[in-house]
Structure 1
Amino acid sequence: MRQKPNPFPGFKICFFICLLAIISIVITGCSTTAKKEPLTTKKTKTVFVSEVVFRQASKGNSQTPSQTALHGMVWYLSNGRTVTPDLKDLVFNSTVGKDGFVVLLVPGTTYKWFNYVFLSYKNHAWVVSGYVDAPIQGSLSKNKRGLALPFPSYLGLNLDINSNQKVWVFENVDHFVIIERQKQYPVSLPGFKLIKINGKQLSIKSSGNTSTAVYGDEESMVTVAGNVKKNAVISLVKSLSPTTDPTFPYK
């Protein structure tokens, strides 16, 4: 049977071309939406403590060393924030007679940032007698100068609280020890056990990974404390030079 001629000979070709164009646009559009954007790295500014201020807490909030520190310390950070310590920021707390030792971890800083607060008991309240602001940054020293420190490298700082009282702080990212030398005075040490080290009577108290040790040498009283185990503190005490040595605590 003879087929009738197509009255629109170019229609089928045109329709086919248009259809291909539409499919091409749809496929191209899908591939564009699925295209991944290049990753960008955001530069973060270092946040540090720009100022430390201590405000004397009320007498009701100064009945323990930790109370006084938690209610009195104020940190001004480089990003404009003002922060105060919470109970979770308290990493160490020890009392030896009329002396208190509190270590706080500053929240919100780029580097691990410790504050070592030294307190004394006066007029029925604990008051701050000095503090050491100690961020963990930069290179740490490996020269222990004869000290049996319980870590391979450290940052060392010291503070003269007064003419009769001086402290040394040694820290790394995870651990710290404090050495204090002051004029000896009669002290009661409840909860401490008495042992003999290098011919000296050493009073020591330990709980988990925190330890405090006290001994008398000549006219001085030495306290060694930190978030380290009992054996680490005993080893450190054994390595200390005599308190009369001008290089104390180093050898």
Structure 2
Amino acid sequence: MVQFGLQFREHQSLLVQQEELRIEMDIAANIQNLLLKTDIPKLDQLDIGIIFQPLRKMSGDYVYFLFDEENYLSVAVADVVGKGVPAALCMSMVKNGLETLEYANHNHSYILEVLNRIIEKSVDDSMFVSSFYGRYDVKNDILTYGSAGHEPALYFNSKGETFYNLESKGLLLGVMPEVKYPQFSIRVEMNDFIMIFTDGVTELRNCDVAESRNLIKDIAFSHRHLSAQEMCEKIYLELQRLQDYNLNDDFTIVILKK
């Protein structure tokens, strides 16, 4: 009976500790949501859709939007190689860097270079960040973009009914202190759209990345007549169904549709 009583007391203590940890994680998740919250701009010239489903309470994905007075829409999608509280803290640094740099310089290469130096100096050597950064000229319908080791975005040309990978070779943020990031531009026509996503979207069970990307193209093509938000939701539901409704990673898709 004495042994049973000791084991019961230990069990109760573990339950209390587990509950305290759960409460702390809930608080941390709420703080992260507050810190990383970004408003989705509403534009007449561009339809914007987004779906974001974290695998755990603390997400390693982040989406950033900013529409300035010069009719430029900035969008960044970032993914931390890591999870939990460290990833959340790293994302806070990414957000602060983006908000500061957006007003200082509109050059994509410069923004990614400075973010890279911030992350390289501030986080553990085992933690890196991939990021796609784009700036859409609403008046001229031109998207200028760059990437730091991120999953290539997809561009759909409605006239040719063809998808193109928006390749942009760039090293992950945080690997080396001095890295140069190239930038590219494309013109977006009526009914074209751009899909930006994290690797949690393409990491499907029983599929390699190439097969997953082809599957995403097929689903997006079949729903191209819908709004950007509806397309995001259809893609998510279809991929969830194929995965037996079990996420392997944080799931983030952003669609910009002309």
Q: One fold, TM greater than 0.5?
A: no
Structure whose residues are more often helix by fraction: 2
Bigger relative contact order, structure 1 or 2 (CA pairs below 8 A, ≥6 apart): 2
Larger strand proportion of the pair: 1
Q: TM-score, normalised by structure 1?
A: 0.32
Q: Normalising by structure 2, report the TM-score.
A: 0.31
